[in-house]
Amino acid sequence: MIRSYVFAEGKLAGQEIDPDALRLVRGDKGLYLWVDLDDPTEEESRQILEGVFGFHPLAIEDCLAVSHMPKVEEYDNYLFIVMHAVDFNRKDSFNSTELDLFIGKDFLVTHHTHPLRSIDSIRERVTKTGLPGLKTMDKLAYSILSTMMDNYQPVIEELGKGVTELEDIIFSSTHPSEPAHEIMHEFRAIRNQVNKLRQIIRPQREVISRIAHGEFKIIRPPLIPYYRDIYDELSRIDETGHALNDQLFLSFDVFLNRAANETNEVIKLLTLLTAITTPSMLIGTWYGMNFEPMPELKWEYGYEAAAVTTILSTIGLLLWLRWKKWL
């Protein structure tokens, strides 16, 4: 789908312009143009990217191909940026959507294959209020990227909630409410999601860092502090992801230690049971040999003597274990 918005003096002058008419709009130096390619066909993409704007073939190929790495490239009169928006929920897990931006002095082209809340939010805003004070399209690009960063917050909150729930299970006073293999599965799932988030954030931080340091002429100096704010937000998200990762591994270490302690308790119990039954086993084994020369076999009180000896030795062993504080 091709959506287009034309601005004049910060006000919305037209929208949903026919692609053929966009060439005329491009020729008017007093107008500003935003074209949003929302899940377009390849024909629609090339019609706009090649036919209307004449972008570099390599930039077009990068835009149409799926890229897992954010990047920024400067051309003669525009800037090409690849970023990634994220979405997360417990049912569908972690999803990321590539957002490509072509930023020129009087135009902005955005390309994405799935609906983005940041784009929808900005689209709704410009149709209601326009873009007051619009001088170049770097401001609109900043608004989109800033809104996209705001949408990372629910992802961080969901991941943090997942880590907290896993901690509640591990640190419960009784046995964990979930079997060990389910806890392991949950740990791996959350760890993969946190790592995926950080893998997306870190390269994007480098891209925004280059913009925030004024490396590209298409971004006006007055906008540099705003892009620096996006860089700070990305740094905060990365640090939060690092903290969640540390918290996750700390909880997992506690889980492993607790499992080891429970195993040790079982071994201790089995060892005590073995020690307590040792006297009866020794006496029973000794007199179970049934050799004829054994005088006790024909003794009238042999059974009672064996029983009393077994009981007394067992009681003595129990008292000794308690004295050693092993019981």
Residues of the chain with pLDDT under 70: 87-94, 132-135, 173-180, 259, 261-262, 265, 286-302, 326-327
Cα 264 versus chain centre, distance? 35
- How many domains does the chain fold into? 2
Question: Using CA of residue 270, residue 272, residue 275, residue 278, what is the dihedral sign?
Answer: negative
Q: How does pLDDT run across 167-197, given as a tens digit for each residue?
A: 777 777 555 555 667 777 777 777 888 888 8
Identify the pLDDT of residue 286.
67
Residues 30 and 108 reside in one and the same domain: yes
259, 291, 307 — which closes off a domain?
Answer: 259
pLDDT of residue 155: 81
Q: Are residues 182 and 295 in the same domain?
A: no
Domain boundary among the residues 226, 259, 292 is at 259
Does residue 268 lie in a domain region? Answer: no
Domain range spanning residue 208? 2-259
Q: Are residues 172 and 300 in the same domain?
A: no
d(C-alpha 118, C-alpha 122), whole Å: 6
Do both 166 and 299 map to the same domain? no
CB 218 within 8 A of CB 78: yes
pLDDT on residue 229: 92
- pTM value? 0.71
The DSSP element (H or E) to which 263 belongs, if any, is helix 224-276
d(CA 251, CA 184): 11
The answer as to whether 194 is a domain residue is yes
- Residue 73 pLDDT: 92
Q: What is the pLDDT of residues 34-74, one digit of tens each?
A: 889 988 888 888 988 888 888 999 999 999 888 878 889 99
Output the domain CATH number for residue 75.
3.30.460.20
